């Protein structure tokens, strides 16, 4: 009987995590560049059920296989859906939207950015990201292009993290002691004056946003505040985007989140109802065990 109780408890945990993921999606409905999370569940491995003692069948049949059974469900991971979000025009020169449509030869990606070849191999569409440096000097990736300038002319995101240029250094827009606020940016991320002349950095080279190509965006780990990181061996999946990569920087736009509000509400309600169903099952087991304990006490 306890096996059913543990199965119901694992179902409650899985549905609670799904509910948390969906509510986080809804909370970030208006966060620029936010990518919806999708909770992935799987069953625990099957276990073999055997009858270990069968006195009526004799010593030769002391152990008999009865079959296999699953012992519940587990919340395995939270996978982001890296589909392109809609663009929203803001007319703010410090707002940037990144439109990414990087292709892989021989692959035809679906709307979710996946392709399965004839051999069953799964290919994920690479994605382009802005490159950010956090307070600890570590490289992070983001799609939230709402930037600004600090008092020293350094381009920063909404959390104060520095935006990196193609040379790996923070972008600084200064004209002498005055921050440059009247500028344009080309489709490939290069900064220019209003007349189209490139704006050079401290090293004398044209200032250009560092756009990073991430081969498998599912390897990215959310850090909050719109930032992602790559850990360990997965760091090899990131490299500066090249001219052959299909991406475009749009000035005066931001990418809206790709959260489907209607589907999120349906998913939240289904998770809540599944949670309550498992909860009622546990309550049933609790009352059954309480009754059994009371009956034993009367004997």
Reported as a single tens digit per residue, the pLDDT across 252-293 is 999 999 999 999 999 999 999 999 998 998 888 888 877 777
pLDDT for the residue numbered 227? 93
Checking if the pLDDT of 297 tops 80, the result is no
pLDDT for the residue numbered 26? 94
Please give the Cα distance from 103 to 106 (Å, whole number).
9
pLDDT for the residue numbered 60? 55
Q: What is the pLDDT averaged over residues 182-193? A: 93
Checking if the pLDDT of 49 tops 70, the result is no
Inter-residue contact 182 to 188 (CB < 8 Å): no
pLDDT for the residue numbered 64? 65
pLDDT for the residue numbered 170? 94
Q: At what angle do helices 2-27 and 261-298 cross, to 10 degrees?
A: 150
- Tens-digit pLDDT profile for residues 210-242: 999 999 998 999 998 889 999 988 888 999 998
pLDDT for the residue numbered 224? 84
Checking if the pLDDT of 201 tops 80, the result is yes
Inter-residue contact 94 to 154 (CB < 8 Å): no
Please give the Cα distance from 257 to 274 (Å, whole number).
27
Strand partners, 68: 48
Inter-residue contact 116 to 122 (CB < 8 Å): yes
CB atoms under 10 Å from CB of 207, counted, come to: 25
Please give the Cα distance from 25 to 18 (Å, whole number).
11
Checking if the pLDDT of 162 tops 90, the result is yes
Chain-centroid distance, C-alpha 154: 28
Q: What is the pLDDT averaged over residues 167-193? A: 89
Share of the chain above pLDDT 90, in %: 49
Element (H, E) at 149: strand 148-149
What values do phi and psi take at 200, rounded to 5?
-90, 150
pLDDT for the residue numbered 296? 63
Model confidence at 73, pLDDT cuts 50, 70, 90, reads confident
Chain-centroid distance, C-alpha 74: 19
**Locus of tokens 């490289």:** 139
């Amino acid at each position: 009987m306890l096996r059913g109780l543990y199965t119901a408890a694992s179902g409650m945990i899985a549905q609670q995590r799904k509910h948390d993921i969906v509510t986080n999606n809804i909370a970030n409905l208006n966060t620029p560049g936010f990518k919806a999370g999708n909770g992935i569940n799987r069953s625990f491995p099957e276990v073999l059920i055997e009858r270990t003692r069968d006195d009526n069948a004799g010593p030769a049949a002391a152990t008999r296989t009865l079959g296999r059974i699953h012992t519940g469900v587990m919340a395995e991971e939270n996978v982001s859906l890296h589909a392109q979000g809609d663009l929203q025009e803001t007319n703010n020169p410090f707002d940037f939207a990144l439109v990414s449509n990087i292709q892989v030869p021989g692959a035809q990606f679906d709307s979710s950015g996946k392709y399965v070849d004839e051999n069953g191999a799964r290919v994920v569409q690479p994605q382009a990201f802005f490159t950010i440096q956090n307070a600890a000097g570590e490289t992070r990736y983001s799609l939230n292009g709402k930037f600004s300038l600090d008092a020293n002319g350094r381009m920063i995101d909404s959390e104060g993290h520095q935006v990196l240029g193609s040379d790996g250094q923070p972008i600084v827009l200064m004209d002498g002691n005055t921050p440059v606020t009247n500028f344009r940016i080309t489709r490939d991320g290069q900064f220019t004056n209003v007349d189209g002349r490139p704006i050079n950095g401290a090293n004398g080279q044209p200032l250009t946003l560092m756009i990073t190509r991430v081969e498998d965006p599912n390897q990215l780990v959310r850090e909050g505040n719109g930032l992602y990181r790559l850990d360990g061996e997965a760091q090899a999946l990131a490299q500066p985007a090249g001219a052959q990569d299909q991406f475009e920087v749009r000035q005066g736009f931001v990418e809206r989140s790709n959260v489907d509000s209607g589907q999120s509400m349906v998913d939240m309600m289904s998770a809540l109802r599944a949670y309550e169903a498992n909860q009622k099952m546990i309550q049933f087991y609790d009352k059954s065990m309480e009754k059994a304990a009371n009956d034993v006490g009367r004997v």
